[in-house]
């Protein structure tokens, strides 16, 4: 996910917002495949999309990546991803509102 809410004109903001929405939808679809079962059927987070890209930035401890505490890592990463997407959408909304009242 790459978000860039520091855009100036309305065209860039609208195009950027479309990209953010597409990224959020893609991310939500990837995560929904994992959480639909209600549990992790594999304790190795490196097997899950998005999680495999992020987990090693936060820990090198194999128990949190592939072991007994991987469910804790999953919960924290899942919440971090959700909050990041929410924060980015709020930033875009603020930019759009500022531009709207400027004109």
Residue 8 has pLDDT above 60, yes or no: no
Report the alpha-carbon distance of residue 77 to residue 82 in Å, rounded. 9
Q: Domain ranges in the chain?
A: 38-103
Neighbours of 89 (CB within 10 A): 16
Q: Which pLDDT band, with edges at 50, 70 and 90, does 5 fall under? A: very low
Summarised one tens digit per residue, pLDDT across range 36-93 is: 877 777 888 888 888 888 898 999 999 999 998 998 999 999 999 999 888 888 888 8
Residues above pLDDT 90, as percent of the chain: 19
Give the count of beta carbons closer than 10 Å to the beta carbon of residue 76. 15
């Amino acid at each position: 996910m790459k978000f860039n809410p520091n855009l100036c004109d309305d065209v860039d903001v609208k195009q950027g917002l479309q990209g953010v929405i597409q990224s959020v939808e893609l991310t939500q679809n990837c995560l929904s495949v994992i959480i639909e079962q209600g549990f992790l059927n594999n304790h190795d987070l490196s097997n899950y999309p998005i999680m495999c890209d992020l987990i090693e930035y936060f820990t090198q401890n194999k128990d949190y990546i592939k072991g007994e505490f991987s469910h804790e890592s999953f919960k924290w990463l899942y919440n971090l991803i959700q909050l990041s997407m929410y924060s980015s959408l709020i930033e875009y909304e603020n930019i759009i509102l500022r531009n709207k009242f400027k004109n």
